[in-house]
Structures are given as C-alpha cells and as structure tokens.
C-alpha cells in the first residue's frame, strides 16, 4: 500500500516538474493533478504528519480554482503547482513552514486604501506564527498565508481586478482572524498545542486520571466510520447588505459545489447563513436563514436532492471579521458549506 502511494506521488510530482518548467498544460489538468496529489497525500497520512503543508496544498488548490473561474490561466497554473509542492511536503512529513515574502510597496499602493487596509499583513502573520499558530491553528494559518500570497500575485499585475483583490483579502482576513482566535483560546486554556506536554519532576509525562463517561446507545449511523473532510472546493458565498440574492460572481463557485456533490453522492451538507452586526437580532436571524435557503434552492435547482441539505441561520453571531469596516461587514455576510457525513466505506 505504502509503495503504491509513493509511486503515485512520484508520478504526479514528475508531471508537476514538467509543468513548472513551461506551464505547457491546460488549467483543468493542473487542478486535476493537484487534487490527485492531495488525495495521495491524505492516503499517505500527510494530514497528520504535516497538517500545515497538507492544508496549504488544499488552500493553493482552492485559489487555483478561483483564479481559473476568473479566467486567470497563468495564476491558476502557478497555484496548482504550489499545491502539488505542498502536498509532497506533507507526504514527507516536513515540519518547516514556508518562507513568507513581503508584498512590495509598489504593489501595496495599488490597493484602494478605503477598501482594504494592508498595513502590517505580513507582520500579523509572522506574529501568530511565532505565537504557535503552526501548532494550534495549522489549517487557518496555511489558508491565511496562501491567500496573502495570492493577493501579492494579483497586485503584481498592471491592472489588478478590484473584485478579485477583495475576494482574496476576504480569504486572508477571515482565516487570519480564525487562526488568531484559536491561538488566543489555546493560550488562555493552556492547551497542549500551546504549552506542550506537562512533565513531572522525575521527567515522566503527566497522565490525566481516567474519567467515567456514560454514553447513550449508538445508532446504526453513528456506528458507521466517518471522516470529517470539507468539500473538494472551499465554498463561501457573500451577500450585499440586507440581501439574500446570490451574486453573479459566485455562480461558478456554486457550480463547483454542485459538481462535487454529484460526484460524491453519499455526502450530506449543512448550509450556514450569517449576517453582519447591523439590525435587530430577530431580523438578522431570518435574513441569515433566507441566505442559507437561497443557496440551498440553487443546489436543488441544479439537481441536488433536498434531503441531502440542511440549512440554518445564525444571524448576529459567529463573526469572522470586525464589523467596524465595510469590508469586515461584507466578510461576515456569508453562507458556508459544512460536510456533515462522509462514510469511509
């Protein structure tokens, strides 16, 4: 089994080496090969051996898909190759994080200051890295870094797309804030990822006393093995103020979700709707549910069975960005997909 996985990994890496030299391949091929290597890494235990690099591979793949939907072929290919490289690092079990490159002043000057505050983005990432985010929030850190890199890539263009810059910044800030929150909780609660294993004076590790737990009888479904794994596409839909209408720029993303659900017929999903802080609690709860229902209706209209979809509206809670700026409020006005069941066999 391990030999087969290694052969598959080397085959894909050999292809990626050819890709990296001349980009002489189709966008769809790059995304497909990156996904294949991510699956190979998962089977090889890369998710556990090197969570940071495994999640970085997935983040790069998501960005490759996003850039492809924006008709940005070269960028999509670049991030597909980065995805393959990160997946290979997770297979190797690498514990060394990627080097962070600063977005140059010339590139930063292209961002409308009133829309995105770019001050100290890199310093913020480095700070939570130093504060053990690599241990306590590897997924969120990896995604924040990948979106930061994609932001820098887009800014290198003579005429970067304002809508794409906003999407990439949203991806950066939401994951950065989640990583920061996880680190703060880990620090406050003295979790093992932050403080390490407690050592007794004689050098042995402290062991927790066993606690008696009474469990309710398991149902047949609960007995089935499950793997907690997000959709193959990272899906988040944002809404205009006081609206529950799906904007045109998210149609391609939802079509990718439809495709993923059709290819994985045993997956069920929960769509969670959210709002910003403006408005009453009662009104926002209804608005959040309307947003989740709008996304559900789109999936059903395109062939996904209603019984595979749950919807919930959270309203004025679970923010992922500050509500003090327009960009922060837009980030919070969203609908997200959560996979709730993937039987392993």
Residue 106 pLDDT? 55
* pLDDT tens figures, 220-229: 444 444 444 4
Q: Which of 73-77, 81-85, 187-191, 339-343 has the lowest mean pLDDT?
A: 339-343
For domain 224-341, the CATH class is: alpha beta
How far apart are the C-alpha atoms of 84 and 72, rounded to whole Å?
Answer: 19
Average pLDDT, the chain: 78
In angstroms, what is the C-alpha Rg of the chain? 21
What's the Cα-to-Cα distance from 320 to each of 226, 240, 252, rounded to whole Å? 27, 16, 23
* pLDDT tens figures, 108-153: 555 544 344 555 788 888 999 999 999 999 999 999 999 999 988 8
Q: Where are the domains of the chain?
A: 2-188, 224-341
- In this prediction, residues 159-183 reach a mean pLDDT of 87
DSSP annotation string for 257-284? HHHHHHH-TT-EEEEEE---S-S-HHHH
Q: By C-alpha distance, which of 138, 53, 43 is closest to 94?
A: 53
Tell me the β-bridge partners of 272: 312, 336
How far apart are the C-alpha atoms of 90 and 101, rounded to whole Å?
Answer: 21
How far apart are the C-alpha atoms of 156 and 120, rounded to whole Å?
Answer: 18
């Amino acid at each position: 089994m391990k030999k087969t996985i290694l052969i598959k990994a080397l085959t894909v890496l050999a292809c990626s080496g050819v890709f990296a030299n001349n980009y002489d391949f189709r966008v769809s091929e790059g995304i497909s090969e990156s996904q294949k290597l991510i699956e190979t890494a998962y089977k090889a235990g890369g998710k556990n051996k090197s969570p940071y690099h495994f999640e970085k591979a997935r983040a790069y793949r998501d960005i490759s898909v996003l850039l492809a939907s924006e008709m940005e072929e070269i960028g999509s290919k670049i991030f597909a190759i980065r995805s393959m490289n990160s997946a290979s690092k997770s297979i190797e079990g690498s514990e060394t994080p990627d080097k962070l490159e600063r977005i140059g002043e010339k590139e930063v000057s292209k961002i409308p200051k009133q829309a995105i505050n770019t001050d100290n983005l890199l310093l913020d990432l480095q700070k939570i890295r130093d504060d053990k985010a690599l241990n306590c929030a590897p997924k969120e850190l990896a995604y924040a870094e990948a979106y930061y890199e994609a932001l820098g890539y887009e800014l290198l263009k003579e005429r970067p797309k304002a809508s794409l810059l906003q999407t990439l910044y949203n991806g950066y800030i939401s994951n950065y804030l989640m990583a920061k929150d996880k680190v703060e909780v880990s620090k406050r609660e003295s979790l093992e990822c932050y403080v390490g294993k407690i050592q007794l004076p004689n050098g042995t590790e402290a062991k927790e006393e066993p606690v008696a737990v009474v469990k309710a009888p398991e149902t047949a479904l609960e007995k089935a093995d499950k793997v907690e794994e997000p959709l193959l596409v990272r899906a988040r839909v944002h809404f205009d103020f006081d609206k529950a209408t799906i904007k045109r720029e998210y149609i391609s993303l939802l079509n990718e979700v439809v495709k993923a659900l059709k290819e994985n017929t045993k997956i069920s999903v929960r769509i969670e709707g959210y709002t910003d802080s403006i408005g009453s609690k009662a009104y926002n709860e209804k608005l959040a549910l309307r947003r989740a229902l709008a996304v559900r209706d789109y999936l059903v209209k395109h062939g996904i069975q209603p019984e595979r979809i749950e919807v919930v509206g959270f309203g004025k809670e679970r923010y992922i960005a500050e509500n003090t700026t327009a960009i922060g409020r837009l980030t919070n006005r969203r609908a997200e997909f959560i996979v709730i069941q993937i039987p392993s066999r």
